[in-house]
Structure 1
Amino acid sequence: MEITVNQQIYQVTDVCSVQHLLTAVLNIPAKGIAVAVNQAIISKASWESHILHPGDQVIIIKATQGG
């Protein structure tokens, strides 16, 4: 299936959780990021159980330091 992550299109398996997307597809460490799916924030506790659907829009926001 096809989903969009930060305005880039990715092909993922038919059953893909947010956690699987981050670790297996994008290879992104889970520390210091927030994830929204279709403009709704997904809590880190729900990443494993939140299943993505075709056409979902995922936004990954990385925390940065500065001031």
Structure 2
Amino acid sequence: MQVFINDKVFECPAGATLPEVLEANDIKTDNIAVAVDFSVIPRPDWNKTVLQDGNKIIIIKAVQGG
């Protein structure tokens, strides 16, 4: 199946969870927020989030600065 991560297409197996897809694509999970189809997924719910074909995943990285 295909999912979109920040508008790029990624292939993943059916029934893959959010952490599985992030790990398979070498996406670091430190200091990020994730939304699936425009709904923010709290980090404790990541393992329960099973992705579907065509899901749009948005990753927002927190940065510090001044």
TM-score of the superposed pair, with normalisation by structure 1: 0.91
Give the gaps of 5 or more residues in structure 2: none
Letter in 2 for 1:38: D
Q: Which residue is 1:12 aligned to?
A: 12
Once residues 3 and 28 of structure 1 are traced to their aligned partners in structure 2, the CA distance between those partners, rounded to angstroms, is: 14
The Cα offsets for residues 4-32 of structure 1, whole Å up to 9 and x where unpaired, read as 110100110011111101112x2122210
Q: How many residues align?
A: 66
Cα distance in 2 for residues equivalent to 1:15 and 1:53: 7
Runs of 4+ in 1 over 3 A off after TM superposition: none
| Fraction of identical pairs, as percent | 33
**Cα separation, 2, equivalents of 1:11 and 1:23:** 13
Letter in 2 for 1:54: D
Other-structure match for 2:42: 43
RMSD: 0.8
Residue identity in the other structure for 2:60:
I
